[in-house]
Structure 1
Amino acid sequence: MKFKPCLSITQGLLFTYCIENSYNPEREELISSKNVNLEKDLKELFEKLTKPEFMKYKHDERQWHIDTLQHFLAVGDSFDSVFYLFDTYFEDEILDKRKFMNTLLSCLLSYDAEATANEST
């Protein structure tokens, strides 16, 4: 089944980083300790906080997230709508939202490949 690209699912995936998420001092400290504008720090956050949830998704759900990011990157979207009224624990403002999303996409592709390999064993 193929779903239409939808940025609201991306915002849902990133809810882990939102201050409206459940209170978790360890998670909040980890998020605020990283520089969201450094790819290395961002990948560490995604590995620790996004990957565990993403790996629980079914293949078609994982693919929907990937397809959504690929689509909106391809059409040149700024991703401002994803972060509009979305307060996070990031200490720094995200300077390049497209770079942020490219990094997220790269990680999701890697996680999906790992999950697919695990499913076939």
Structure 2
Amino acid sequence: MKNKPDMSIIRGLLFTYDIENTDDLERERLIASKNINKERELIELFDELTKPDFLDYTRSEQEWFIASITHFLAANDSFDAVFKSMATYFSAPVIDQKKFMQVLLTCLIQYHNTTNSKN
């Protein structure tokens, strides 16, 4: 049974960046040091912090994240449900939420494909 696209799982994946996740000063400094509105710096941040968490999920769960983001991008969703409900360590607001999610999706697909090609 396939899971339906779900905005709350996307928010859960991004919990690393939420101020409610307050257990690592080094992580917080790293997040604040990146300009998340510059694609290269955003990718660096995802590679450092999101990738390890994402790879801990099962293949099915990874595919659910990818399918959910793909679905909401195709539906032209604003992703306000994710960003408006979260206070982050980002040093600036996310200017283009869809672009942020597109970059995240590209990274997740790459992580997923890399791990699956090893199996």
Q: TM-score range by the shorter chain?
A: over 0.9
Partner of 2:59: 59
Following superposition, the deviation at residue 85 of structure 1 comes to: 2.7
The residue type equivalent to 2:96 in the other structure is D
- In the other structure, the counterpart of 1:4 is 4
CA offsets 1:55-104 (integer angstroms, 9 cap, x no match) = 11111100000000000000100001101130000000000000000000
State the partner residue of 2:93: 93
Partner residue in 2 for 1:78: 78
Deviation at 1:2, TM superposition (A): 1.2
Gaps of at least 5 residues in structure 2 are none
Distance 1:116 1:53 in 2: 16
Identity of aligned residues (%): 50
TM-score (norm 2): 0.97
Partner of 2:20: 20
Partner of 2:42: 42
Deviation track 1:16-52 (CA, whole Å, cap 9, x = no partner) reads 0000003211000000000010000000000000000
Matched, 1:103 2:103: yes
Cα distance in 1, alignment partners of residues 94 and 102 from structure 2 = 13
Q: Within 2, Cα distance between the matches of 1:19 and 1:11?
A: 13
* 1:32 maps to 2:32: yes
